[in-house]
Amino acid sequence: MSTLRYRRYDTVYLGAIGIIGALLVWELAARLRLADPVLISSPMLVAGALRGWAVSGALWRDLGTTLYELVIAIGASALVGIPLGVIMGWNRPAEYALDPFIWLLYSTPLVSFWPLFIIWLGIGANAIIALAFLFSIVQIVINTMVGVKGIDPVLVRCARSFNARAVDLFFKVTLPGALPMIVAGLRLALGRALIGVIVGELFSSNAGLGFHISFYGTRLQFADVFAGLFVIVIVGVGMSQAIRLLESRLVRWKS
């Protein structure tokens, strides 16, 4: 019942029990042949596959490739998306003009652009980065714009009352005021960029976590596929936790 009080460490060990329990059920299902072990593999086999992958050194190459594509894509998105979002937040006509494009990109399943990227950029990292860029930039633009528009107008009036220059207004009021929203946008954008990178690698590449999954998937070596998924989970959770940490450091001024 919800009236019971739980202590802080309860979340930790209960969560651990949840994960271990799920793994146990999975292992038993495979051992007792409740489902075809070829199809569902098992935690033990996955652990073995993971070790083999790491020992061969391919893991580090694949992880490196994926992270590289991810970082470039998200960096480019931030570089382009934040200024764009600020402009849209500041200037009504600019917002109205860009709005249709942003919303179209936000609601479109962006993978459909993949064949175009392949044709324009060729098979390889560039097309993957472009796809991930497209996935993430929309989120950054939207969050930045909302953040800028959400700044208390009295703060802007205050700065203007002190004769603030435009540069000061930007760096001392607009940017810090929108920062929490921008960082939250960055966190969501990272998740979206990860989708873009994995899909791109899944479709065509010769390295990366998505490639690993697709490669072993077609060979029906599902332990290796699960190992790939596991690493992707680690990357996803790790990044979002890292940004959360950044968030909590950056916005210490919030009650």
Partner 1 sequence: MKRWQRAWIGGLAVFAFLILWEAATPLGWVRVAGISRPTLVGGAFVQLAASGEIYDGLYISLKGFFLGFVLAVVIGIPVGVVIGRYRFLSMLLDPLLMAIYNMPKVAMMPLLVVWFGVGFGATVAVVLLGAVFPILVNTAVGIREVDPVWVRAVRSFGGSEWDVFKKVLLPGSVPPMMTGIRLGVGRGLLGVVVSEMYASTEGIGHLIGLYGMSFRITELIAMVGVVSLLGFVFADLIRRLEVWVSKGRAEVQW
Partner 2 sequence: MLHIELKQIRVTFPQPEGGELLAVDRFDLQVQRGEFVTIVGPSGCGKSTLLSVVDGLVRSSSGQVHVEGMLVTGPGPDRALVFQEFALLPWRTVEGNIGLGLELQHKLSSRRIKELVLHYINMVGLQGFERHYPYQLSGGMRQRVGIARALAVNPEILLMDEPFAALDAQTREIMSVELLRIWEQDKKTVLFITHSIDESVYLADRVVVMSSRPGRVKEIIQVGLPRPRGLAIKDAPEFVRLRRHIWDLLEEEVRRQVDGKEDRA
The residues that touch partner 2, with contacts defined as CB under 8 A, are 152, 154-155, 157-165, 168, 172-173, 176-177, 179, 251-255
The answer to the question of residue 114 lying near partner 1 (CB under 8 A) is yes
235 by DSSP, 3-state: which? helix
CA distance 196 to 175: 28
Site string for partner 1, 205-224 (x = CB under 8 A): ----xx--xx-xxx-x-x--
CA distance 221 to 41: 9
Site string for partner 1, 172-211 (x = CB under 8 A): -------------------x--xx--xx--xx-----xx-
The answer to the question of residue 124 lying near partner 1 (CB under 8 A) is no
CA distance 15 to 118: 42
Backbone φ, ψ for residue 6 (5° rounding): -115, 145
Residue 208 zone, left/alpha/beta (φ > 0; ψ -120 to 50; rest): left
CA distance 234 to 16: 15
List contacts with partner 1 (CB under 8 A).
Answer: 1-2, 4, 6, 10-11, 14-19, 21-22, 39, 92-93, 96-101, 103-104, 106-116, 118-120, 191, 194-195, 198-199, 202-203, 209-210, 213-214, 216-218, 220, 222, 225, 228-229, 232-233, 236-237, 240
